[in-house]
Structure 1
Amino acid sequence: MEESAVAKPRRRRAAAAAATNSTTTTVATADRPTPEPGGGVEDVGLEGEGCDAEAWEMLTASFRRVQSVLDRNRALISQVNENHQSKVPDNIAKNVALISEINGNISKVLSIYSDLSIDFSEVVHQRRALQNGAGGRNGEKLESSGA
């Protein structure tokens, strides 16, 4: 069985994410709203309207990864500010490594969004090809009226 166009890059990125996320910590923030319990695709009202669960899953996973990296950057920036305000030479010297990590995290976010753009584009093209090939709605083949 052939892998879908989305599965190959997803598997590659999942392995890379597992390797890089082992050192990343998540920081809880009080200023971000907490999602409502059970907040899934069905709550959005898209289930019966041609919603592609695989596409939503891909978007959701990518946005969660981005948010995790941004939360980490928020904590790092806070630490850089504290170190800077302390004016202790050792603390200020630590900022070099912290700022370097922030810069690396920005590159991660860029990479996640780039991968998401490519994957989403592939899913859209794949779905259009299926629809055009099937000639009908939701992948159903149209029957000819052979009169």
Structure 2
Amino acid sequence: MEGDAFSVPGNGNQMDGKVLQTFQKSFGQVQNILDQNRLLINEINQNHESKIPDNLSRNVSLIRELNDNIRRVVDLYAGLSTAFTKSMETSSEGDSAGTLKSDGKPSVASSQKRLRP
């Protein structure tokens, strides 16, 4: 199943390039935010261990920034979920419409269904 991460279930077609670009962009943004969070957490830990009052005070703003970053990640994943759902709905609308051969009978591709184990 490796390499099939971006195929649409049910019909095996590749996802639209625009959807794939959206996913790649969003995952890149998420990774950047997570990298920032790692640095923030390291700094928060160092400040905490130092027990220096100014460093401890600085942790308040660092923790707020960390929380804002977590909210951004949640929003990005929500957007990805919405984009994926829309792409699946669009894909299934195309599948459910079916196609007819020139003799008016359903084509083999539109009449066959994939059975799941």
Q: Is the structural similarity TM-score above 0.5?
A: yes
**Partner residue in 1 for 2:87:** 123
Match of 1:54 among 18, 29, 38: 18
**Partner residue in 1 for 2:68:** 104
**Partner residue in 2 for 1:145:** 103
**Partner residue in 2 for 1:36:** none
Task: Give the letter for the 2:28 counterpart.
Answer: R
1:64 CA drift (Å) = 1.2
**Partner residue in 2 for 1:12:** none
The structure having more radius of gyration, on CA atoms, is: 2
Match of 2:47 among 78, 83, 91: 83
**Partner residue in 1 for 2:29:** 65
SS of 1:120's equivalent in the other structure is: helix
Provide the C-alpha distance between the structure 2 equivalents of 1:142 and 1:89, rounded to a whole number of angstroms.
Answer: 75
Task: Give the letter for the 1:51 counterpart.
Answer: Q
Provide the C-alpha distance between the structure 2 equivalents of 1:87 and 1:67, rounded to a whole number of angstroms.
Answer: 31
How many residues matched?
98
Taking only aligned residues, the RMSD between alpha carbons, in angstroms, comes to 2.3
Task: Give the letter for the 1:57 counterpart.
Answer: Q
Provide the C-alpha distance between the structure 2 equivalents of 1:94 and 1:59, rounded to a whole number of angstroms.
Answer: 35
Task: Give the letter for the 2:14 counterpart.
Answer: C
Q: Could you list the runs of 4 or more consecutive aligned residues of structure 1 that deviate by over 4 angstroms after TM superposition?
A: none
Q: Which runs of 5+ in 2 are unaligned?
A: 105-117
Q: Deviations over 1:78-120 (max 9, x none)?
A: 0101111111110110000000000111111111111111111
1:71 CA drift (Å) = 0.6
Task: Give the letter for the 1:126 counterpart.
Answer: T
> TM-score when scaled to structure 1?
0.59
SS of 1:73's equivalent in the other structure is: helix
